[in-house]
């Protein structure tokens, strides 16, 4: 199953939902949606309610970056966190300080750095760490769970680890690109090669990848996503003279299971059981689909992969199934290959051949109030009873 991000259409969540349902009609796999919240008014608040109560959406993404486009400020984030809490929906954040990124971009352009390396230089790890810390503190203030998407740096990961250690319900999701790549590709003299690595937060310098892997293996980060958002080289070339115009995003959906196995299990950093947890079970629990998804049990959906640890893979744009002409993992080889995929009890991938029928994927509704909300009401009640306020005072002037 895949959970995609819906962007509202002309500010309307319902229109966004319908547009994505339409696009998904050809889906070969089961799918669900997270919904982005990019502005705030009564209508958005009402529509969030409809999305949760009638449309099967139980998570909303707030962008703390992309100033002038998707970015929301702290006031809106607070409104969103409160609304999510009341609905039992999970608040997700794209955590970068958008105002500072804007400043960093101006700085790079003034220095004459207009190529893809300017993308990484304009939004360093400290800006990801700052926004992650801020979102965590605001979620703590509201007392609602928080999910940090595409954790790319040590700075952000350490904020999540610290909050979890203090007992806060924060989930940190690194993505495959952050786990297995470093930023050197952004300095490639060939623009198209360099531009394919542009995503946000940026792929970081060597060292962040290993630290994120370690955090996954110790449980400081909880699961691995992809943030799959592929653009071909023609689309990436929109930013040939200005890195700010390069569309953000990299591929990963086809590569995730192979690369996580090779990087985490084959290297001995995690067990096979942990591999199942960080690629499947944890996601199903967080988004309240367990045990329908994320488990092999009587009554579950029978979505299963058979991965041969002795078989090897090689990734290349020539043989991948994406329509994009580039692959950010080009040339990468490793151990552990998915040889068979079963969806809903039927074989949909075997002998390197896709047997899935377009349109056979079902929309999976996700219910609110996952396990992350257990006990939140009790903590709120405890907080209220601890206030010793309001103090009853006599109105008479002394
Ligand atoms: N990660 C990335 O660059 N994807 C595009 C949109 C987003 O920032 O989530
Ligand atoms: Zn994002």
- Specify the 3-state DSSP secondary structure of 4: strand
Q: Which atom of ligand 1 is nearest to the CA of 198?
A: 3
pLDDT > 90: what percent of the chain? 99
Whether residue 398 has pLDDT greater than 60? no
Cα–ligand 2 centroid distance for 69 (angstroms): 13
Encoded tokens for 131: 């926004």
Q: Check if 199 has its Cβ closer than 6 Å to any atom of ligand 1.
A: yes
The rounded distance, in Å, linking the Cα atoms of 136 and 158 is 12
Cα–ligand 1 centroid distance for 94 (angstroms): 8
381: left (phi over 0), alpha (psi -120 to 50) or beta: alpha
Cα–ligand 1 centroid distance for 199 (angstroms): 6
**DSSP 8-state class, residue 392:** P
**Structure confidence by residue, pLDDT tens digits, 238-290:** 999 999 999 999 999 999 999 999 999 999 999 999 999 999 999 999 999 99
The rounded distance, in Å, linking the Cα atoms of 100 and 87 is 32
Of 56, 81, 79, the residue nearest 6 (C-alpha): 56
The rounded distance, in Å, linking the Cα atoms of 27 and 364 is 12
Q: Check if 7 has its Cβ closer than 6 Å to any atom of ligand 1.
A: no
Answer whether the bond into residue 70 is a cis peptide, omega within 30°.
no
pLDDT > 70: what percent of the chain? 99
Best mutation site among 4, 174, 228, 249 for ligand 1, i.e. most ligand atoms within 8 A of its Cβ? 249
The rounded distance, in Å, linking the Cα atoms of 319 and 183 is 24
Cα–ligand 1 centroid distance for 173 (angstroms): 13
The rounded distance, in Å, linking the Cα atoms of 293 and 290 is 5
Q: Check if 229 has its Cβ closer than 6 Å to any atom of ligand 1.
A: yes
Whether residue 397 has pLDDT greater than 70? no
Best mutation site among 61, 197, 248, 328 for ligand 1, i.e. most ligand atoms within 8 A of its Cβ? 248
Kind and range of the H or E run holding 347: strand 346-350
* Count of positions (residues) in the chain: 398
Of 126, 80, 122, the residue nearest 104 (C-alpha): 122
Cα–ligand 1 centroid distance for 43 (angstroms): 25
- Specify the 3-state DSSP secondary structure of 204: coil
Task: Read off the pTM.
Answer: 0.97
For the chain, the average pLDDT equals: 97
Q: C-alpha distances in angstroms, 194 versus 70, 125, 182, 199, 323?
A: 25, 19, 12, 11, 19
Ligand nearest to the CA of residue 202, numbered in listed order: 1
The pLDDT assigned to 395 comes to 83
Best mutation site among 199, 204, 230 for ligand 1, i.e. most ligand atoms within 8 A of its Cβ? 199
Positive/negative CA dihedral, 180, 186, 189, 194: positive
The rounded distance, in Å, linking the Cα atoms of 141 and 135 is 10
Q: Check if 150 has its Cβ closer than 6 Å to any atom of ligand 1.
A: yes
Q: Which atom of ligand 1 is nearest to the CA of 200?
A: 3
Encoded tokens for 159: 């904020």
**Structure confidence by residue, pLDDT tens digits, 1-17:** 999 999 999 999 999 99
Number of Cβ within 10 Å of residue 270's Cβ equals 20
């Amino acid at each position: 199953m895949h959970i995609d991000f819906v962007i509202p259409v002309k500010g309307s969540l319902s229109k966004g939902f319908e547009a994505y349902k339409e696009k998904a009609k050809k889906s070969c796999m089961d799918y669900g949606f997270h919904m982005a919240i990019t502005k705030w008014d009564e209508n958005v608040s009402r529509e969030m309610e409809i999305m949760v109560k009638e449309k099967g959406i139980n998570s909303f993404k707030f962008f703390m970056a992309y100033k002038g486009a998707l970015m929301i400020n702290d006031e809106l984030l607070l409104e969103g966190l409160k609304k999510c809490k009341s609905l039992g929906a999970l608040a997700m954040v794209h955590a970068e300080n958008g105002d500072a990124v804007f400043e960093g971009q101006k700085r790079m352009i003034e220095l004459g750095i207009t190529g893809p390396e300017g993308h990484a230089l304009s939004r360093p790890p400290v800006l990801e760490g700052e926004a992650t810390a801020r979102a965590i503190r605001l979620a703590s203030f509201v007392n609602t769970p928080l999910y940090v998407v595409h954790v790319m740096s040590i700075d952000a990961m350490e904020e999540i680890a610290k909050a979890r250690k203090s007992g806060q319900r924060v989930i940190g999701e690194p993505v495959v690109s952050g786990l297995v790549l470093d930023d050197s590709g952004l300095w490639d003299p060939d623009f198209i090669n360099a531009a394919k690595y542009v995503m946000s937060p940026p792929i970081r310098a060597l060292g962040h990848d290993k630290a994120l892997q370690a955090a996954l293996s110790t449980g400081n980060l909880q699961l691995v996503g992809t943030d799959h958002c592929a653009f071909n080289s023609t689309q990436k070339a929109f930013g040939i003279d200005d890195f700010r115009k390069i569309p953000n995003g990299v591929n990963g959906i086809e590569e995730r299971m192979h690369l996580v196995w090779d990087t985490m299990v084959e290297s001995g950093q995690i067990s096979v059981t942990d591999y199942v947890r960080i690629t499947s079970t944890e996601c199903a629990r967080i988004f309240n689909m367990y045990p329908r998804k994320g488990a092999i049990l009587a009554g579950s959906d029978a979505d299963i992969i058979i991965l041969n640890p002795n078989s090897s893979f090689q990734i290349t744009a020539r043989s991948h199934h994406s329509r994009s002409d580039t692959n950010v993992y080009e040339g990468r080889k490793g151990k552990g290959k998915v040889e068979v995929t079963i969806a809903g009890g039927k074989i949909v991938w075997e002998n390197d051949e896709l047997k899935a029928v377009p349109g056979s994927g079902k929309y999976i509704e996700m219910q609110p109030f996952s396990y992350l909300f257990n006990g939140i009401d009790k903590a709120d009640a405890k907080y209220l009873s601890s206030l010793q306020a309001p103090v009853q005072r006599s109105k008479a002037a002394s």
